[in-house]
Amino acid sequence: MIEWDLIEPWEYIITSVAAEYHRKYDMVELTDIKQSLYEWFAKHPNKLEHWNSIGEKDAKNLLYRSLRNQALDYCQLWKSLTLGYETSDLYYYDMDMVEVLLPNAIRGDLEMTQQVDLGRSGKAPTPAEGGNMMTMLIEINIAYWKLEKKDSTILFHRYITLDEFQAIATKMELSSPAAARMATKRALKRLVAKMGGHRPKVEKDIVETDQSVSIESSSSNTSDS
C-alpha cells in the first residue's frame, strides 16, 4: 500500500527521474515510469523511513540512486518487449573493460581479437568477451562518436595521445590535474551510458532483526552480462 504522505516530499525527485528516463526511452510513457517509481516506495517502506532518519541530504542522494535503478530496470523491460528481445541478452560494459579497448576503438582498429584478461575469476566470459572482440570494439567506437565534443576530445587526449592529467588540464583549460581526472572519469561514464548504462540492481527493503538493521541488495539476474 502506498502512503502518499511519505511520498509527497519526494515528488520532485520522482518527476525528475521519470522525465530523465522518458527522454532516454521515449517508447515508454512518462506516466508509466512514474507509476513504477511509486511502486518502489510501496515495496521499500522501511528503507524510506530509515533514510528519512539520517538526514535530508543523504536521503535525497540515496533515493535518486535507487529510483534511477528502478526506472532503468523498468524502461529496459519495456524496450525489450517493444523491440522483441530478451532482457537477458543485454550486456553491460564494465569501466575497466572499456578502458582497455578504448584506444583501439577510437582508432577504428577492429583487429584486436585476443581475449582481454582483467584478472577476473569465477565468471564465464560473454560471447563478446570470449570470441567476438570485434563486436565490443564496434559498439565502443559507435558510442565514442556519439559523445559531445568535449568528452570525445578529453578521451582522445588520455587514451590516444596518452597525455598526463596536467597536460589535459592545460589543453582543455581546466583548473587542475584533479579536475582533468574527474572530467575523464565522467566522460567514460557517459560513454558507458551510450552503450546501455550501468548495471541496474534489484533492491530489497531493510530487514529488521533483534540486533541490527541491514540493507540487502543484489544484482539483477536479467542484466548479469
Decide: 158 and 184 in contact? Cβ < 8 Å: yes
Which three cell numbers mark 6? 511519505
Find the Cα–Cα–Cα–Cα dihedral 102, 106, 112, 117, rounded to 10°: 0
Please report, for residues 8, 20, 33, 105, the alpha-carbon distance to residue 17 in angstroms, rounded to integers and kept in the order given: 15, 5, 9, 32
Domains of the chain and CATH, by start? 4-88 (no CATH), 95-194 (1.10.10)
pLDDT greater at residue 87 or residue 224: 87
**Identity of residue 103:** P
User: What are the pLDDT digits (tens) for 35-88?
Assistant: 999 999 888 888 888 887 887 788 898 899 899 989 988 887 887 777 665 555
**Which value, in Å, is the radius of gyration of the alpha carbons in the chain?**
20
What pLDDT does 6 receive?
79
User: What are the pLDDT digits (tens) for 99-155?
Assistant: 888 999 998 887 764 555 554 444 444 444 444 677 778 888 988 999 999 999 999
Which residues is 214 bridged to in the sheet? 207
Q: Mind giving me the DSSP string for 32-60?
A: HHHHHHHHHHHH-HHHHHHHHHT-HHHHH
User: What are the pLDDT digits (tens) for 146-158?
Assistant: 999 999 999 999 9
To the question of pTM greater than 0.85 for the whole model, the response is: no
Instruction: Quote the CA–CA distance of 154 and 176 in Å, as a whole number.
Output: 14
